[in-house]
Amino acid sequence: MSAGLFTRLAVDGIKKNKKLYIPYIISLAGMVAISYVVYYLVESPAISRMRGATVLYAIMGMGKLVMVVFSCLFLLYTNSFLAKRRNFEFALYNILGMNKKNVVRILLGETLIVGTLGIVFGFAAGILLSKLFELILIKMCGYPADYSFYLDTKSMVMIVIFYAVIMLILYIFSAAKVIINKPIELLRSTNAGEKEPRTNILFAIGGIVILGVAYWYAIRIQDAVESFNIFFIAVIAVIVATYMLFQAGSVFICKVLKKNKKYYYNPRHFVPVSGMIYRMKRNGAGLATICILATMVMVMLGATSSLYIGMNSSIDKMYPTDVYISANSIDSYESWAALDSSELYDKIHSNFEDVKPEDVLFERYEDFIALANEDGVTFLREDQNLMPADVGNYSMVEIAELDDYNKAYNANLSLADDEIFFLPSTAKFEKEVFDIDGLKYKVVGRDESPFYGTDIVRSYRAVVKDIKKLNDYAMSIKAQVTLSAGWGFNTELPDEQIIEKANKLWSDIGMYRVISKAEEKLEFKDMYASLLLLGVFLSIVFMGACAFIIYFKQLTEGYEDASSYKTMRSVGMTVKEIKAGINSQTLITFFSPLALAAVHLAFSAPIVRKLLFLLGLNDLKVFIMSYLICFAAFALFYLLVYKKTVKSYVEIVSQ
């Protein structure tokens, strides 16, 4: 047989099954396009000139890893739908006299055509989208647009190799099945259902228990740092429980419906329920995958959009003054106590003429790394290092002196020598006595206001009457402590001048660090914009994957159910009754993943909220609104996919 004949047969096979092949090629092209965009942004010269380029590279690096893993899993999964449909034609070729070697050559031709089309169209879309997303990111970060064109050939070569390897693996799997199985086995596999699965009550109960525990942890955790440690464990638990529930729970529901004779033998329900029972193992896994993808999309978009939208208010709360001067590691308590601000005030005024000494907030404090316990904290000694096992208890403690606190914040707090007052912190301490490595303080009050700061670990902030007592004790046990001070002030100057003058002030002062809110805002904007863009990328990928899984699932089931519906039509079932039956089936199979995803989203909100708190988000209203809008948008998208796939299913079974 000539190569031209193999090519024609391959093209003919693709045309005959265009309902499956066109979406498959589109999904492959989409993966290639998004992969190129992510790789392009890491290599883009325009991005490299941005202030937050390092942050972007780290964030997009995570995106590259996710794309690699997800592309492999998704293409393997969708190829299984395609292969099952094609087995029938390959078996016929074999029965009609074509040997398996030639059948495999046709399969190779189809793989090459599909792979080439997917990669070519993917790069065409990716090249256009990469420049678009680059301009969007630059605009979001506030930089001037760069319209120069750049083609990342290095990334293109890497992507071609990667997806070529995936297509080769898929081809090997499909070819092996053709070679190993007899033609009659391939024919049977096309329409073969699965054995009726047994109802596994323990499996379903196990899923409910695991899900309940994960939910309980998500709403129980109060500590922002602890939420970071628990989050990934909770995610894995929810994924496992979701698969257990859909596989065991869906079988149980179908069998309950089957036992209801009045319901089951209704023409509208007979084919859908009987079909679902015999393919529920695969069906349950598919529904669980859809549910997990839906949850991931809504959580990612809700989290990243709320970070970006709430950025300005978060930064204003984290940095209450326009400029802050930080003096760390002051040599001794005597130097710290005798700190003279007059010379510093002169340098501040020479750079910021609208700032007077009385406008400057001055604070002094002692801070140290500690290990938290149920009674308080213990110092790290000078000869002691933080061990990996201690990371969960790692804490930052910042203690201010009473007189400084009252002056800085115009307060009227009074404390005895052995009393402590807690300021807003990331960690909560509920007991009445706070033990600092044996030095006990009675807790006389707590400021329950939300903490607005840049601490990304557990922290305690408090006020005591006399820092010297604590410092002398720390020195006596050779603890690692630092004496620090800070000056903050506001100015009427525009942001560009604040950044310029703050940097000039830093060079004038030399030994102290000068932080400007305007410059920090640019850093946060770059980070939040990068996170939002990555969230959009991955959401597009997961939404597309969700839509294609639903589509392939419905088409495959449509071909499997076609003969059953043909039999039902021959005994008088109308097209109207077919549509009614399909609606009863899809109501369960389509909207149960969305319903459970909504529950996942609701229970994930507390723990995600605390994680975003570590990144600076402190606007609860923005967070809730972002979550609700993302859910509504995804539900609308899901409904459109539902209508499209049901229409295709009806067309197949009505033929």
pLDDT score of 267:
60
372, containing H or E segment? strand 361-373
What is the C-alpha to C-alpha distance for residues 500 and 513, in angstroms, rounded to an integer? 14
Give the C-alpha separation, 212 to 218, whole Å.
10
Q: What pLDDT score does 575 carry?
A: 66
pLDDT of residue 341: 80
Tens-place pLDDT, residues 263-318: 666 666 666 666 666 555 567 777 888 899 899 999 999 999 998 998 888 888 88
Best CA proximity match to 178, nearest among 81, 93, 79, 74 = 93
* Strongest mean pLDDT among 58-72, 168-182, 495-509, 584-598: 495-509
Q: What pLDDT does 222 receive?
A: 65
Comparing 32-46, 278-292, 458-472, the range with the smallest average pLDDT is: 278-292
Rounded mean pLDDT, 121-144: 86
pLDDT of residue 453: 59
SS3 sequence of 507-565: HHHCCCEEEEHHHHHHHHHHHHHHHHHHHHHHHHHHHHHHHHHHHHHHHHHHHHHHHHH
Residue 52 has pLDDT above 90, yes or no: no
CB-neighbour burial class of residue 78 (10 A; exposed 0-12, middle 13-18, buried 19+): buried
pLDDT digits (tens, 9 = 90+) for 223-267: 666 666 677 788 888 988 998 888 777 766 666 666 666 666 666
Q: Which of 17-31, 49-63, 198-212 has the highest mean pLDDT?
A: 17-31
- Rounded Cα distance between 440 and 650, Å, is 74
Interhelix angle 311-318/280-309, rounded to 10 degrees, is: 60
Query: Judging by beta carbons within 10 Å of its beta carbon (0-12, 13-18, 19+), is residue 35 exposed, middle or buried?
Result: buried
Least confident range from 39-43, 228-232, 326-330, 426-430: namely 228-232
What are the helix (H) ranges across 142-249?
153-180, 183-191, 201-220, 224-244
- Pairwise CA distance, residues 624 & 354, whole Å: 40
The closest of 258, 261, 282, 260 to 272, measured between CA atoms, is 258
Per-residue pLDDT tens over the stretch 403-456: 888 888 888 899 998 999 998 877 778 889 999 988 899 999 888 776 655 555
Give the residue with greater pLDDT, 122 vs 69.
Answer: 122
Q: Is the pLDDT of residue 606 over 80?
A: yes
Q: Taking the CA atoms of 310, 312, 315 and 317 in sequence, report the sign of the dihedral they define.
A: negative
549: left (phi over 0), alpha (psi -120 to 50) or beta: alpha
Residue appearing with tokens 């690096």: 61
Q: Which residue has the higher pLDDT, 8 or 62?
A: 8
Over residues 595-606, mean pLDDT: 92
Q: Are 473 and 444 in contact (CB under 8 A)?
A: no
Examine the pLDDT at 118 and tell me if it is beyond 90: yes
Displacement of CA 259 from its chain's centroid (Å) = 42
Looking at the predicted structure, is the pLDDT value of residue 608 above 90? no
The owner of tokens 């201010």 is: 400
- Give residue 174's pLDDT band: very low, low, confident or very high (50, 70, 90): confident
The structure tokens 């009457």 sit at 465
Give Cα 652 to chain centroid, integer Å: 37
- Whether residue 389 is predicted with pLDDT greater than 60 in this model: the reply is no
Region 171-182: mean pLDDT is 81
| pLDDT for res 634 | 93
Helix axes 18-43, 53-95, angle to 10 degrees: 160
Measured from the Cβ of residue 96, the count of other Cβ atoms closer than 10 Å reads 8
Q: How confident is the model at residue 632 (pLDDT cuts 50, 70, 90)?
A: very high
Which residues share a beta bridge with 436?
377, 439
Q: Give the pLDDT band of residue 56 (cuts 50, 70, 90).
A: confident
pLDDT at 229: 67
Polymer length of the chain: 655
Residue 600 clears pLDDT 90, i.e. is over it: yes
pLDDT over 90 for what percent of the chain?
16
Q: Give me the phi and psi of 326, to 5 degrees please.
A: -115, 125
| Predicted local distance difference test score (pLDDT) of residue 441 | 92
- Residues facing residue 325 across a β-bridge: 487, 514
Q: Average pLDDT, whole number, for the chain?
A: 81
Residues 6+ apart with CB under 8 A from 78: 24, 27, 548, 549, 552
Give the closest residue to 379 by CA, choosing from 315, 473, 287, 289.
Answer: 473
